[in-house]
């Protein structure tokens, strides 16, 4: 007989550094640029507190994903965790479709359009029409898809370069403005009530949505038991510090009303007093780097998700590696859907919808971790904390939409019903019974 031997570890296709940069690149996208003004409407100069709370909530949810990812390493990420945590195939199916449509297609399209806005402004001019915005956005989606096809190692190197450049720009911005902060602008006496700061957390959480991308990298790490926690916590730590520092610099330099009126260009405007026009251009370039990195990370995550869902029978086989479209069938379909969203949809209201529905999926993942807490070795207290914090934010945000933005609220309801309908049709028509 041949003696049993320990199988060799699979070669690392993605390094820890690459996973960290993948997560940072996915998070530091359009959110920090587009959300400062919107969050300022609610939280005033206390936006930095809102980012800090959202970061803590993301860390709690990240803890549940790390525990699940170490126990069930897969490129299917959070949807794989739902499959292990719940026996209801319909619940997992609906959550999978909703997570796919919101966290992948909607978020990817939104970030691409933000890239298009900045690119059109820099390359064409402030009077560039929407056609230019959509053209640049579509080109970014195609370039990001091509980079994903090139493989994890190429993606690792590209994301590393982009994120290092992006962090360098933000460090210059912070160093250039921190010495010119005006204390009265950040005085706690000018902050709104705590309930308003809490209600703004759902908005600032949108800027952290990309942390889930790290869970999809578990299947590409050689030793996920040690590497996944390092990647998750490092990426969230870097991003939280960056968000808090940037928000302090912006609201410590500009009055709240100015930040609100400047909107997406508020960071660039905050750089003008000390860095001049060069600072404005520098931050616009940072926006291009951030959005391109975020779209690339999102499409990378989509390939693992669609492949895993096709293998389980939740998604049609055309999304899988044995697709008639080739082994990148899921990526091709996702790219096409993202392009349709970029070209044909108005994406303003979808930011709220994408954030709310994605948060609901994260709550389900945390509930799965609670159900499996003994199997995965998770702390009951920490998992319950993640569930409670994220549920409170989700409920508060949903109520706020119902009271103040009913169009977006009913669109969110319609999207959930569409997810239920698509999954029901898939369940009734598929030939294979699934696992």
Sequence ranges of the domains in the chain: 16-427
pTM, whole model, 2 decimals? 0.77
Instruction: With a cut of 70, say whether residue 215 has pLDDT above it.
Output: yes
Instruction: With a cut of 90, say whether residue 284 has pLDDT above it.
Output: no
Coil, strand or helix: which one is 379?
Answer: coil
Segment 341-350 mean pLDDT = 68
Instruction: With a cut of 60, say whether residue 114 has pLDDT above it.
Output: yes
CA gap 372, 85 in Å, rounded: 6
CA gap 358, 100 in Å, rounded: 9
Q: Which residue has the higher pLDDT, 10 or 230?
A: 230
CA dihedral (425, 344, 361, 322) positive or negative = positive
Phi, psi of 320 (to 5 degrees): -95, -175
Instruction: With a cut of 90, say whether residue 387 has pLDDT above it.
Output: yes
Q: What share of the chain is helix, strand, coil (3-state, %, to 5)?
A: 80, 0, 15
Phi, psi of 323 (to 5 degrees): -65, 155
Please provide the CATH number assigned to the domain covering 16-427.
1.20.1740.10
Segment 299-320 mean pLDDT = 81
Q: Which residue has the higher pLDDT, 120 or 103?
A: 120
Cα distances from 25 to residues 224, 333, 401, in angstroms, run 20, 23, 29
Mean of all residue pLDDT scores within the chain: 81
CA gap 232, 410 in Å, rounded: 34
pLDDT in tens, 19-77: 888 788 778 765 677 678 778 888 889 999 999 999 999 999 999 988 988 888 776 66
Confidence of residue 435 (pLDDT cuts 50, 70, 90): very low
Nearest to 77 by CA among 88, 90, 62: 62
Number of neighbours of residue 383 by Cβ within 10 angstroms: 24
Instruction: With a cut of 90, say whether residue 140 has pLDDT above it.
Output: yes
Beta bridge partners of 326: 323
Coil, strand or helix: which one is 323?
Answer: strand
Confidence of residue 349 (pLDDT cuts 50, 70, 90): low
Instruction: With a cut of 60, say whether residue 341 has pLDDT above it.
Output: yes
Least confident of 111-120, 208-217, 329-338: 208-217
Q: Which residue has the higher pLDDT, 381 or 424?
A: 381
Segment 336-352 mean pLDDT = 74
| Contact between residue 101 and residue 83 where contact means Cβ atoms under 8 Å apart | no
């Amino acid at each position: 007989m041949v003696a049993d031997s320990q199988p060799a570890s699979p070669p690392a296709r993605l390094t820890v550094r690459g996973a960290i940069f993948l997560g940072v690149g996915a998070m530091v996208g359009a959110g920090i640029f587009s959300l400062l003004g919107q969050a300022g409407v609610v939280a005033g100069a206390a936006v930095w507190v809102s980012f800090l709370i959202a970061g803590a909530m993301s860390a709690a949810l990240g803890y549940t994903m790390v525990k699940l990812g170490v126990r069930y390493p897969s490129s299917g990420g959070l949807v794989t965790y739902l499959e292990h945590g719940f026996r209801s195939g319909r619940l997992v199916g609906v959550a999978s479709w909703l997570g796919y449509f919101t966290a992948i297609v909607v978020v990817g399209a939104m970030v691409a359009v933000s890239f298009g806005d900045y690119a059109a402004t820099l390359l064409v001019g402030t009077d560039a029409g929407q056609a230019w915005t959509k053209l640049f956005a579509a080109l970014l989606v195609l370039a990001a898809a091509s980079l994903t096809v090139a493989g994890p190692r190429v993606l690792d190197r590209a994301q590393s370069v982009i994120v290092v450049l992006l962090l360098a720009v933000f460090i210059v911005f912070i160093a250039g403005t921190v010495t010119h902060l005006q204390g009265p602008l950040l005085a706690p006496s000018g902050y709104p009530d705590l309930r308003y700061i809490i209600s703004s957390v759902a908005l600032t959480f949108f800027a952290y949505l990309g942390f889930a991308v790290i869970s999809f990298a578990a299947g590409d790490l050689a030793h996920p038991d040690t590497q996944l926690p390092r990647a998750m916590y490092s990426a969230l730590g870097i991003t939280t510090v960056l968000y808090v520092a940037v928000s302090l610099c912006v609201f410590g330099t500009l009055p709240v009303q100015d930040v609100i009126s400047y909107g997406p260009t508020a960071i660039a405007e905050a750089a003008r007093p000390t860095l001049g026009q060069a600072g404005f251009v520098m931050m616009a370039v940072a926006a291009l780097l951030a959005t391109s990195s975020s779209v690339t990370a999102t499409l990378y995550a989509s390939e693992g998700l669609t492949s895993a869902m096709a293998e389980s029978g939740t998604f049609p086989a055309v999304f899988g590696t044995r697709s008639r479209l080739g082994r990148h069938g899921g990526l091709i379909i996702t790219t096409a859907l993202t392009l349709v969203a970029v070209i044909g949809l108005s994406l303003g209201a979808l930011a709220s919808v994408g954030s709310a529905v994605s948060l609901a999926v994260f709550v389900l993942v945390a509930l799965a971790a609670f159900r499996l807490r003994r199997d995965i070795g998770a702390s009951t207290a920490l998992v319950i904390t993640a569930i409670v914090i994220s549920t409170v934010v989700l409920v508060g945000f949903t109520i706020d939409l119902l009271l103040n933005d009913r169009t977006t609220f009913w669109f969110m309801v319609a999207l959930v019903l569409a997810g239920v309908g698509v999954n029901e049709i898939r369940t009734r028509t598929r030939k294979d019974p699934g696992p």
